[in-house]
Copies of this chain bind each other. A is one copy, B any other.
Amino acid sequence: MADIVSLREGLAELVSDGDLVAMEGFTHLIPVAAGQELIRQRRKDLTLARMTPDIVYDQLIGAGCARKLIFSWGGNPGVGSLHRFRDAVEHGWPAPLEIEEHSHAGMANRYVAGAAGLPFAVLRGYVGTDLPKHTENIKPIECPFTGEQLTAVPALNPDVTVVHAQRADSHGNVQLWGITGVQKEAVLAAKRSLVTVEEVVPELTPRAGAIVLPSWAVTAVAEVPGGARPSYAQDYYERANTSYQEWDAISRDRERFQEWLADQVYGAEVKS
């Protein structure tokens, strides 16, 4: 059964330096507050996995929390580059960043295999591209019935997965709806998991398009209203598109980024 915790306690308990951490949410429900709390707790040497690193990982990378990034699309959606990510890859600032790069289909299937307790997943993917040249984690596999050659990727089993959801009940059952992305797979693939939610309610009521992560499949739940800003939480708040544009300016410059970090993260009140 999931424990109901504060964000600070939950992350302090679940995430250690050096862990493989996945934070998922596909445009919608990105666990940004949890990412900033990890910066505040000065976690180091993390291997960060996420299909679309987005602002949340640009911040963690710029703050020097990450040793390695496993991803499939590293841009600021609708705006352009992730400058902290680029600075780390292009100039090794604030530290070199090892990268392992996939396609979306490959990353999604790595989580699927992880959730399914299988060591690998099979897909039609990557063939003819340069991606397999740069990782051992993309290999050919032959169909034992037809002889056809396909592609295998290994399961991704994070030490900790962090996601954000609209709500949980007091037992720790989690409900999310709208675009649900790869969150179920990312949580089920992980050894431990933390879900931040907009609100903890006495009872979950059924909702069209909602999925439920049962309490016994989640390690901890923390109530963090607004925890997905500047991304959005459907039926709670909209995406702050201007914040994504503002991030471009903040992140473009190391000094300005460091000021932002001091003011908005280290200097900010802890969310819960």
Contacts and interface: CB of A to CB of B under 8 A. Distances in A.
Please tell me the size bucket of the interface on A. Answer: 20 to 34
Given A118-B124, A123-B118, A144 B144 contact: no
A122 B145 CA distance: 12
Contacts of A137: 145
Contacts of A141: 141, 144
Copies of this chain, tallied across the complex: 2
Contact of A118 (B119, B122, B139, B207): B122
Interface stretch (A49-57, A62-70, A147-155, A165-173): A147-155
Contact of A119 (B119, B148, B152, B207): B148
Q: Is the interface of A mostly helix, strand, loop or mixed?
A: loop
A215 to B, nearest CB: 19
Contacts of A150: 118-119
A175 to B, nearest CB: 10
A69 B70 CA distance: 45
A119 B119 CA distance: 19
A202 interface: no
Contacts of A120: 122, 143-146
B123 A145 contact: no
A210 B211 CA distance: 11
A267 interface: no
A80 interface: no
Interface in A100-139: 117-124, 137, 139
Nearest to A137: B145
Contacts of A152: 143-145
A169 B104 CA distance: 33
A78 interface: no
A122 B141 CA distance: 12
A5 B140 CA distance: 44
Contacts of A124: 117-118
A-B pairs with lowest CB-CB distance, top 4: A206-B208, A119-B143, A145-B154, A139-B144
20 contacts: A117-B124, A118-B122, A118-B123, A118-B124, A118-B150, A119-B143, A119-B146, A119-B150, A120-B143, A120-B145, A120-B146, A121-B122, A137-B145, A140-B144, A141-B141, A144-B152, A145-B152, A145-B154, A207-B208, A208-B210
